[in-house]
Structures are given as structure tokens and as C-alpha cells.
Structure 1
């Protein structure tokens, strides 16, 4: 029997007016809050929703909003250094994956004993110093549930994951009001990111009963709601479903881990700054079609979950349906699938292959072995 475990955030609040639970969290000996966000989230008025709760409670706070999208390890360290000066005893992260990832790093880096680059070499150094509350403003990254922080290592032109259970959030609030007015392009790319998380975890070599439960339910929610949630600003129920699905997929990551889609997408973000959700959307169908012979029964199980009782379809047909459905979603949401959209020249193919094959942590999870020639063929599909 395989050994496996599940570690997830301490308390998760969801449903209507979930932001009201901030008052409950502040009762636990909080004297000062550091609010992590970025200028676009602040401009959208979402941080004001949180600050109003802090004002009502009479809690001191400082806002740290100079957070870059898709940060490098050194940019993340600069934010952490700013945070140390606040002497806050609770971090509230209001934003997408990059905001939450930096906030998680800050939660283990209020000490001077080690820094971000030290954690890149040895994540085991991390020790939780400050409690965290994650309030995602996208339904996609799942960062609120994971022990991961993704940073760019500039000299490698590669995104690298720092993974430590010490970074798992103490509190999470999932409130659909935070994504109600999310631009369609962001809703689409982050939604497909969650889709990638769920299907990768469900087909990971490390998949187990814990991750399967969350990944399969996440897939059912996403496959049934993602397009409506992106296309209809008033589709509150679909948006709520996507927030829960994104969280479930994040929990699945903590229990099993992603695979080759994320491994091969990291160089696309690291070298060409293609948004993370878009790069995953590019790799999703090519990798899943490559994996299909080794994942057929699992793909068929997803079909059975979303189309129960259909016994006239073969396992192969069920599996093919899922791969086609993934492609349909990416197409319907109008996410670019060609590297030429981002000016990636064919001459860089070997650089991509070399960089992608370095992400062994994730490639080793993939159900079907990916060799350099396989990675080359997959990248070529995006260049034609």
C-alpha cells in the first residue's frame, strides 16, 4: 500500500459574504496586518473591501502593493525585505498567484537566517514565522491551497517552484465578489490553469485517494462551469463553482503534484514572459494527447463523472472525448495556442527543450516518460 498524506489550509471560508469572516480571524491576537496586493487589484477596488473590515475592527495595517507579476526570486526578496519593516503579525494576501506566492514566502522569511535564494537551494530551511490569510482574486492559480511559491530565476530564464508545507495558508477566504468583474482574458487563462492543475494531479504518478477526490470534483466543476463563468459577468453560481474548483485543484497539488504541462510551460514564462495560465493552456492538449495511452482509464473516469450512466461509449471514446473537450475549452475562451503570438522564434526550440527537461521535479510525476525528443515534438506543435 502506498503512503500518502493531505495537508491543506487551516480554516477555509466560502459562500456569500465570506469576507465578513475577516472579523473572526482578527480575534486571534492580531495587532498589525500587512496587506499584500498589486496596483491593478487596488485600482479595481478589491483591496478596499478588505481594508474596510480592518478599519471596522480598529486594526493597524500597512499595504504592500509594489508586487510584480510573475516575480523573479530577487524581486520577491525585495518585497520580503519591505515586509520585515512592518513588524506585522498577520499577512493578508489579496490577489492572484504571484501576490499569494510572495506572501507565502514572506510568511517564512521574517527571519534573517535564510533568504529566497537559500530556499531555492534548500526549501527545508523554511519555518512559518507569520500567519497568513489568502484571498484569491482569480479562480485559477490555487495558490491559496498549495505549499508552493513560483519564482523566476533570471540567470536560468526558468521558473522554479519552492515547495514547503510551512507555507500553507492558515486561513483562506473564497468570495465570488472578488472575481465578479475579472476581465475575460484573465478569467480564461487562470481558469485553464486550474483545469491543468486538476487533470495533471488526477493523472500524476503520485495520485492517491486524497488527491483523486479533490482533483476529480475540481474537473467536474470546471468542465461544467468555466465558459459560463468567463463569458457572463452575472453568472455568480458559475464563478463560485470555479473558485471552489480552483481551491480543490490546489489541494490536489499539495497531495499529488502537477506533471509535464507545468514542467514544459515554465520555460515559456521564464524566457518569454508568457502568462502562466496561457503557457499552460498552450501545453495542455499536446501533453494530454501524448499521455492518453497511459492515462486512458483515468480520462474515461472523468467522462463517467461528468456524463454518468453512458454505457454505450467505449473507454477509448471516453478518453478521446476528454482530450477534445480540453481543446474545445481553450478554443472557446480564445486563448492563444501558438508561440508565434509571443514572438518565439523556431530557432529557440533547443533552448526550450533543454530548459523544459530541467524541470525533473514535475516531469518525474508524468505518467508517460517524456524524453528530450518527446519534448521537442511537443514544443514543435506550438510552432507550426
Structure 2
């Protein structure tokens, strides 16, 4: 199945390569910004990852404020708190230095600065979002892809569910892929964010909304991740592998913007919303089981990925190739020491009904899945990973 109409939406400028952080100076000049709002996390700020960013801003003669009180997996209360800080500022440019939560928060709040509507109104109708401050995304992990999507994931506390806000006004104006920002990334973050990026690539390639644009980047992202994630995990000093992972994460995000994720993310959202399981971990636990469940509906697509990742070799059937890809995913999860079940997160059978009900409401993503999933199907997938 191939969509008859499709689109490719990307950031306006993408900078990569050695010392690409220095491009912030050109951006400040282009935007005529006298004050910059830097969004980041407390830990990132503490260990000095932002220091080079601050230095470049100062050398431009610009001023800056820092918003660093951004929790992982932020909710609506966090959005309101950060937006209040941003509205009190006279910043003209937003620079996000961090992982998915930081970048999602920065994109969302930059678009909502001075808005007449609330986050709760926006959750009810994403289309009311207007354009806001220009944004610069500087990822410090190698997996979320938030720098190249116009999505922002917010936990809705009352529903114990994560919800995706989707609007092209949140597409970043500038992206800087500087591998020095992930040089010291802890191994467990390399693993969880890396498999998150792999989920993006594989889901987008097998999505009902897959198209020639998304296929192009999803295949390249998949190949890069399969070849580099285990190296990045076991060889912390292997900057070539980490650079490839950073590029792969960006490309997988581009695939999301053109195609879209599927049942892996739909079943992942309730796990983050209620149990606060990190997004990358829940996706990693679910990726192989969901793809195996989907196999009959996307066997050919998975086989194409197998040929992309391992070209040549002996002749194999599409079924054998599809099974090989799922097995490779399981091996990556095992080799990078990511949990393969929910047991250590205190999720039990008594939680199944609520998990199934919540996941079944994520129609935006379930509709992308090539195999239609009933509530019973969803329950069986959760049972497999308990």
C-alpha cells in the first residue's frame, strides 16, 4: 500500500559536522536576536554541555536566559510552568539543548508564546496553534528525532496517558547536529534513545502512510542504526559510530514527519503516562513483539529492510527476511542491556484492562498500523511483555 499524496516537511536549515555549534552565531545574526532563550535540562546544565552554546551567544553580543527546570516526560502542568517563564521573557530566539523532552517543550512553548489559547485547548484541537518564535534544536541524545519532527509529546495527568500534539508550526527553523554534544552520553541513554530511533525508522517504513520520501530516509536510518548502535554502546570513544547514530536519529525523525509511527508508539504511550517508563525503553520493549504481530501484514516491507541492512547473501524468502529483522531487533535490545519485559517496572496483569483501553484510544497511530489491532490483540501483545 502506498499513499497517493504525501509530503516532506523539514527544518529550514540543518548544520552538521565538526564545530557546527558555531553556526549559532550565524543564526543569531540572521534572526537579529538580541536575547536568546536557552531551554535545557538541569543535568545537562550541571555537567557543562551548554557552556559552548553560552560562549557563542556571548561572543555575538547577545544576552540569554536559561530555562532548565524541564522534567523528563513532561506533562501539562510542566508546560504551563515553562510557558509562564517564557512569556515573562523578552527573548526573540529559542535554542533547545537536550533530548526529546527538552526539544518537545521548546518547540511547543515557542509556538505558544503569547497565545490566547491554553495547552488544554490545544490538546483538544491541534489546528489552533499559530506560529511563534524561531527555534534552534541541538540534540544531546541520538534517538528521539524531535529536532526533525513537528510533534510534541505531552503527558496528560488526568488521563495517565501521553498525547501527541502535531502541527507544522512546531517544525524547527534550525537544527545543529554536532556529535561533540553526545561524546559523553551515558551508555544506557545511547541504548534507549538509539532503539527509539530504530522504532521510528521501522514503524515509518511499515506504516500505512509510508511513501517514497519517508522510505528513502527510513531505510537509511535503519541501516545506520543496525550498523552503529551496538558499537556506540560498547565503544564509548567511537565517535564515527556516534556521529552516524546522531544522523540516523535525525533521518528517522524526518520519516516521522512524512509518514508516522504505528502501534509500537500507540502501546508505549500508556506505559509512559501512568508508569513513567522512559519513552525509549517502552518502545524498545515493544518493538520486536509488535513487529512480529504485524508480520503477516508487512512481511514484504520488513524483507526490504533486511535487504537494505544486509544486502546480498543467500536467497531467502520474504518471511525468512522479515523474521531475521525482528530477530536482529531482539539481539540489539539484549546486547545493549535494555529490559525486555515490564516486570521491573511493577506492571502486572491487574493493569491490563486500563493499558488496553488507553492504547486503544491512540487512534492517530493505530490507524497507521498495517494490521488492524483489536483490543484482544493489544492485550495479547502486553501479555507477551509482562
TM-score norm. by structure 2 comes to 0.98
Tell me the alpha carbon deviations over residues 103-143 of structure 1, each in whole angstroms, 9 at most, x when there is no partner: 01111111231121111011111112100000000000000
For 2:332, what is the secondary structure of its paired residue?
Answer: helix
Decide whether the 8 Å contact of 1:147 with 1:165 is kept in 2.
yes
The corresponding residue for 2:299 is 296
Task: Give 1:373's match in structure 2, choosing from 372, 376, 381.
Answer: 376
Is the Cα–Cα contact under 8 Å of residues 284 and 333 in structure 2 kept in the other structure?
Answer: yes
CA displacement, residues 296-341 of structure 1 (integer Å, 9 cap, x when unaligned): 1111111111222235222221111101000000011111121111
Structure 2: gaps spanning 5 or more residues: none
Match of 1:285 in 2: 288
Q: State the SS of the aligned residue for 1:130.
A: coil
8 Å contact kept, 1:105–1:116? no
Determine whether 1:80 maps to 2:83. Answer: yes
Q: What are the superposed Cα offsets for residues 145-183 of structure 1, whole Å, 9 maximum, x if unpaired?
A: 000000000110000000000000000000111111111
| Cα distance in structure 1, aligned partners of 2:233 and 2:150 | 27
Verify: 1:7 aligned to 2:9, yes or no: yes
Q: Decide whether the 8 Å contact of 2:132 with 2:169 is kept in 1.
A: no
User: Structure 1 residue 234 and structure 2 residue 244: aligned?
Assistant: no
RMSD (Å), alpha carbons: 0.9
Residue deviations 1:224-280 (CA, integer Å, cap 9, x gap): 001111221111010010001000000000001100000001000000000000000
- Report if aligned partners of 1:73, 1:152 keep a CA contact under 8 Å in 2: yes
1:205 maps to 208
| Secondary structure of the structure 1 residue equivalent to 2:135 | strand
Partner of 1:143: 146
8 A contact 2:110–2:132 mirrored in 1: yes
Superposition deviation, residue 345 in structure 1: 2.1
Note if 1:181 corresponds to 2:181.
no
Contact kept in structure 2, 1:210 and 1:255, CA below 8 Å: yes
Distance in 2, Cα, partners of 1:232 & 1:153: 38
Structure 1 distance, partners of 2:157, 2:332, is: 32
TM, length-normalised to structure 1 = 0.98
How far did 1:287 drift? Answer: 0.1
Give the counterpart of 2:248 among 229, 245, 251: 245
Secondary structure of 2:153's match?
strand
Quick one: distance in 2 between partners of 1:182 and 1:252? Answer: 24
For residues 188-240 of structure 1, what are the alpha-carbon distances to aligned partners after superposition, in whole Å with 9 as ceiling and x for unaligned?
Answer: 00000000000000000000001000101000000000111122111101001
Shift of 1:372: 0.2
Given the alignment, which residue of 14, 19, 22 partners 2:21?
A: 19
Q: SS of the residue aligned with 1:378?
A: helix
Residue pair 1:286, 1:381 contacting (<8 A) in 2 also: yes
Are residues 1:361 and 2:364 paired?
yes
Query: Does 2:162 match 1:163?
Result: no
Which ranges of 4 or more aligned residues in structure 1 deviate by more than 4 Å? none
Q: Which residue of 1 aligns with 2:134?
A: 131
Question: Is the counterpart of residue 342 in structure 1 residue 345 in structure 2?
Answer: yes
Does residue 352 in structure 1 map to residue 319 in structure 2? no
